[in-house]
């Protein structure tokens, strides 16, 4: 037994493994498509990410939250589906098959009317980028809505505090006017001007709530209204300078102290809630959460329903995770907008890390499925490794036919991209491989050894079973592995032939 002989047998065996691996790959890809394993694994991984662990991933609130994320337009736009009767027929067939198999593994936490993807969805994306998930998740959390609502609440408080400051000044003035027994007309003018200021402040907050302008414009308009009120107050001084001088100075102090700088007024009023405060607004039991809920007077309003529904379905693990990420983001953020951007980035990084781990789990699961498919295919095709080696080592004609076919399929210099050109079905038609359940092939397997137990070929059967297992594991290693190995063995074989020819040429 020399090296060329061993290489020829190895080439034949590797070539058969390659053909069977290609068939197994097609079968596994078909099953993956029909049963939507990638999409389902992605969905399960997201549930585990949000729940914190696999055990809590079956909780109804986790399922509802993931359903909401999957219902987001950003995620729905990723899931491209064919349109038209002919184009959708294959997909409907795979849905039917997938739905049938899902009956045996449906989660107890899902309603019967739901599919594995929730809300009657028959398909879902098999890949979601970190940025898309972060944007969808932030949108589902409705953080912009909470930011707006929290700002509205605090602007209302800011307005009331400023009006109360002015009211206290006027109350002291009113007491002095009453003691001095001045004309009621003078007091009425001052009260009328205050009522006008109050109306203007109310209009400013209402228009801000209707998104007519931003918080900076609201503060500047409040400042301008106060300036106009102070000017009117000063115009009424007349002969009452001794009475109105002190209140006027106090009003100017309020204006200077609060409204001299819009940014300062916003900070003092907390009118730009930081990202940590925003996240706390969705945490049950927190002061800010109570502040938001208490401020929404209309319990039938769309805003109240959205906020309450979101808070009800948010698992504690999700809130805790977001709060931790928000604290990290807040340490680096200089503004609310930057805080939201940093929080989005934190969520994106967390998702990417989780999906990287989930990808490893999927690969391990896929390898397990590949082994099952490989062993099943080996049994179905009766691909017994030991019998194949025995036939290749004894049948020189068979060995030569398979090697010639291997040379045609994998020419010298080919790479993995050429593997797609290999048609296993065509090769199986052209070459009679030492596999299959033909009577001649089975007879050769049975008669591989003459040892019998009570007349039964027990050792031959055990050898067949062991051969199937070896073939199944080899098939599971994948077509790319065998294609690459086949090319390397052929290069070694060709190099050996050239080495033999060289001395002969020199002798001539």
Stated as kind and residue range, the H or E segment containing 13 is: helix 3-35
| DSSP letter (8 states) at residue 57 | G
**Alpha-carbon distances of 159 from 126, 151, 198, 261, 320, rounded to whole Å:** 50, 12, 9, 16, 33
Count of CB atoms situated within 10 Å of the CB of 337: 12
Q: Yes or no: say if 13 and 389 are a contact pair by the CB < 8 Å rule.
A: yes
pLDDT of residue 162: 93
Q: What are phi and psi of 120, to 5 degrees?
A: 65, 15
pLDDT of residue 84: 47
Confidence of residue 353 (pLDDT cuts 50, 70, 90): very high
The three-class DSSP label of residue 456 is: strand
Find the helix packing angle between 37-51 and 316-332, rounded to 10°. 80
pLDDT of residue 418: 63
Q: What are phi and psi of 34, to 5 degrees?
A: -65, -45
Count of positions (residues) in the chain:
508
177 pLDDT higher than 60:
yes
Exposure string of 45-70, with b = 16+ CB inside 10 Å and e = fewer, is: bbbbbbbbeeebbebebbbbbbbbbb
Residue that wins the pLDDT comparison between 356 and 493: 356
pLDDT of residue 222: 94
- Residue 61's nearest CA partner among 312, 307, 319, 308 is 312
pLDDT of residue 1: 57
Flag the least confident range among 1-10, 237-246, 364-373: 237-246
pLDDT of residue 174: 79
| DSSP letter (8 states) at residue 417 | G
CA 112 – CA 102 distance, rounded (Å): 11
pLDDT of residue 74: 86
* Residue 153 CA, distance from chain mean position: 33
Mean pLDDT (the chain) is 81
112 pLDDT higher than 90:
no
Q: Yes or no: say if 333 and 80 are a contact pair by the CB < 8 Å rule.
A: no
- Residue 156's nearest CA partner among 106, 107, 208, 104 is 208
pLDDT of residue 28: 92
Q: Yes or no: say if 483 and 419 are a contact pair by the CB < 8 Å rule.
A: yes
Report for 67-76, 149-158, 165-174, 192-201: range of highest mean pLDDT: 192-201
87 pLDDT higher than 50:
no
150 pLDDT higher than 90:
no
**Alpha-carbon distances of 490 from 31, 103, 502, rounded to whole Å:** 33, 49, 19
Q: Yes or no: say if 12 and 389 are a contact pair by the CB < 8 Å rule.
A: no
For the chain, the helix, strand and coil percentages under 3-state DSSP, each to the nearest 5: 75, 0, 25
pLDDT of residue 186: 67
312 pLDDT higher than 80:
no
Flag the least confident range among 94-98, 359-363, 386-390, 442-446: 94-98
Q: Could you report the per-residue pLDDT of 41-74, keeping only the tens digit for each?
A: 999 999 898 888 888 888 888 888 888 888 888 8
CA 279 – CA 502 distance, rounded (Å): 78
3-state SS record for 288-348: HHHHHHHHCCCCCCHHHHHHHHHHHHCCHHHHHHHHHHHHHHHHHCCCHHHHHHHHHHHHH
Residue range 17-34: mean pLDDT, rounded: 90
**Alpha-carbon distances of 204 from 152, 154, 251, rounded to whole Å:** 11, 14, 20
Which residues contact residue 186 at a Cβ distance below 8 angstroms, ignoring those fewer than 6 apart?
177, 236, 240
- Residue 18's nearest CA partner among 474, 493, 392 is 474
β-pair partners for 415: none
Confidence of residue 452 (pLDDT cuts 50, 70, 90): low
- Residue 354's nearest CA partner among 119, 110, 47, 122 is 47
460 pLDDT higher than 90:
no
- Residue 296's nearest CA partner among 283, 310, 306 is 306
Q: Could you report the per-residue pLDDT of 370-428, keeping only the tens digit for each?
A: 999 999 999 999 999 999 999 999 888 888 888 888 888 776 656 655 666 677 777 77
Confidence of residue 141 (pLDDT cuts 50, 70, 90): confident
pLDDT of residue 409: 75
Flag the least confident range among 272-281, 336-345, 446-455: 446-455
Confidence of residue 335 (pLDDT cuts 50, 70, 90): confident
pLDDT of residue 221: 94
CA 348 – CA 336 distance, rounded (Å): 18
Confidence of residue 345 (pLDDT cuts 50, 70, 90): very high
CA 409 – CA 473 distance, rounded (Å): 23
pLDDT of residue 498: 56
Residue range 295-309: mean pLDDT, rounded: 66
β-pair partners for 172: none
CA 205 – CA 209 distance, rounded (Å): 6
Flag the least confident range among 253-257, 400-404, 469-473: 400-404
258 pLDDT higher than 50:
yes
CB-neighbour burial class of residue 295 (10 A; exposed 0-12, middle 13-18, buried 19+): middle
CA 351 – CA 325 distance, rounded (Å): 12
Residue that wins the pLDDT comparison between 352 and 500: 352
CA 57 – CA 432 distance, rounded (Å): 51
CA 47 – CA 70 distance, rounded (Å): 11
Confidence of residue 236 (pLDDT cuts 50, 70, 90): confident
CA 145 – CA 278 distance, rounded (Å): 10
Max intra-chain CA distance, the chain: 139
Residue range 189-208: mean pLDDT, rounded: 91
Q: Yes or no: say if 94 and 144 are a contact pair by the CB < 8 Å rule.
A: no
Exposure on the CB side of residue 102, measured as CA atoms within 13 A: 24
The three-class DSSP label of residue 212 is: coil
């Amino acid at each position: 037994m020399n090296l060329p002989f061993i290489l020829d047998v190895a080439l034949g065996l590797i070539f058969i493994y390659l053909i069977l691996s290609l068939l197994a790959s097609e079968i596994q890809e078909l099953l993956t498509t029909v049963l939507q394993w990638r999409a389902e694994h992605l969905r399960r991984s997201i549930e585990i990410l949000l729940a914190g662990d696999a055990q809590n991933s079956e909780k109804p609130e986790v399922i509802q939250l993931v359903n909401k994320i999957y219902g987001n337009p950003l995620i729905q736009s990723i899931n491209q589906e064919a349109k038209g009767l002919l184009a959708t027929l294959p997909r409907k067939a795979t849905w039917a098959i997938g739905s049938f198999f899902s009956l045996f593994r449906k989660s107890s936490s899902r309603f019967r009317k739901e599919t594995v993807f929730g809300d009657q969805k028959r398909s879902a994306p098999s890949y979601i980028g970190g940025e898309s998930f972060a944007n969808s998740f932030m949108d589902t959390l409705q953080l912009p809505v909470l930011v707006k609502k929290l700002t509205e609440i605090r602007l209302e408080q800011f307005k009331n505090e400023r009006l109360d400051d002015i009211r206290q000044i006027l109350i002291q003035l009113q007491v002095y006017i009453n003691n001095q027994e001045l004309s009621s007309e003078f007091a009425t003018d001052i009260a009328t001007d205050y009522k006008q200021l109050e109306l203007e402040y109310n209009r400013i907050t209402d228009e801000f709530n209707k998104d007519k302008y931003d918080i900076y414009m609201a503060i500047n308009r409040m400042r301008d209204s106060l300036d106009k009120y102070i000017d009117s107050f000063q115009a009424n001084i007349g002969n009452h300078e001794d009475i109105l001088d002190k209140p006027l100075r106090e009003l100017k102090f309020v204006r200077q102290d609060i409204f001299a700088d819009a940014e300062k007024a916003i900070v003092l009023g907390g009118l730009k809630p930081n990202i940590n405060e925003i996240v706390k607004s969705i945490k049950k039991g927190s002061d800010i959460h109570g502040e938001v809920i208490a401020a929404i007077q209309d319990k039938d309003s769309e805003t109240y329903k959205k906020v309450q529904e979101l808070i009800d379905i948010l698992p504690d693990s999700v809130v805790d995770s977001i709060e931790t990420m928000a604290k990290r983001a807040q340490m680096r953020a200089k503004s609310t907008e930057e805080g939201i951007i940093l929080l989005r980035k934190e969520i994106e990084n967390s998702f990417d890390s989780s999906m990287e781990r989930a990808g490893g789990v999927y690969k391990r699961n896929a390898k397990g499925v590949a082994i099952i498919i490989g062993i099943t295919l080996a049994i179905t095709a009766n691909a017994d490794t030991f019998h194949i080696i025995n036939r290749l080592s004894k049948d020189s004609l068979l060995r030569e036919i398979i090697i010639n076919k291997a040379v045609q399929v994998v020419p010298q210099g080919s790479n993995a991209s050429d593997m797609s050109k290999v048609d296993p079905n065509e090769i199986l038609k052209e070459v009679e491989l030492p596999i299959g359940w033909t009577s001649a092939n089975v007879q050769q397997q049975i008669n591989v050894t003459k040892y019998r137990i009570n007349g039964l070929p027990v050792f031959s059967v055990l050898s067949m079973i062991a051969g199937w297992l070896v073939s199944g594991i080899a098939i599971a290693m994948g077509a790319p592995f065998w294609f690459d190995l086949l090319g390397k063995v052929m290069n070694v074989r060709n190099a050996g032939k050239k080495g033999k020819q060289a001395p002969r040429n020199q002798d001539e």
